[in-house]
Amino acid sequence: MESNQVLYMITIDDVQTQAQEILGRKLVEDELIVLKEKLESGLDFPLQLTYNEFFKELKDNE
């Protein structure tokens, strides 16, 4: 794998598909900005937990 390869990505199309299914409409620009901020702050802690758990598993299996 290349060091700059994306491992996981959420696109605006992904979000708009979900919004259409759940809300019955697409999000407007202001809503997308708020969601982006929430995703950035909301993913940080769970992401750190995921890293910690994954690295712990690797270390336990050494």
Task: Please tell me the predicted confidence (pLDDT) of residue 1.
Answer: 87
At 17 the three-state DSSP class reads: helix
Name the pTM for this structure. 0.69
Structure tokens at 29: 């620009």
Tens digit of pLDDT for each residue in 3-52? 999 988 899 999 999 999 999 999 999 999 999 988 888 877 787 888 88
Domain boundaries, position 50: 12-60
| Distance spanning both ends of the chain, measured CA to CA | 22
Higher pLDDT: 58 or 48? It is: 58
Q: Does residue 2 sit within a domain?
A: no
Number of domains into which the chain is organized: 1
Residue 7 within any structural domain of the chain: no
For residue 41, being part of any structural domain is answered with yes
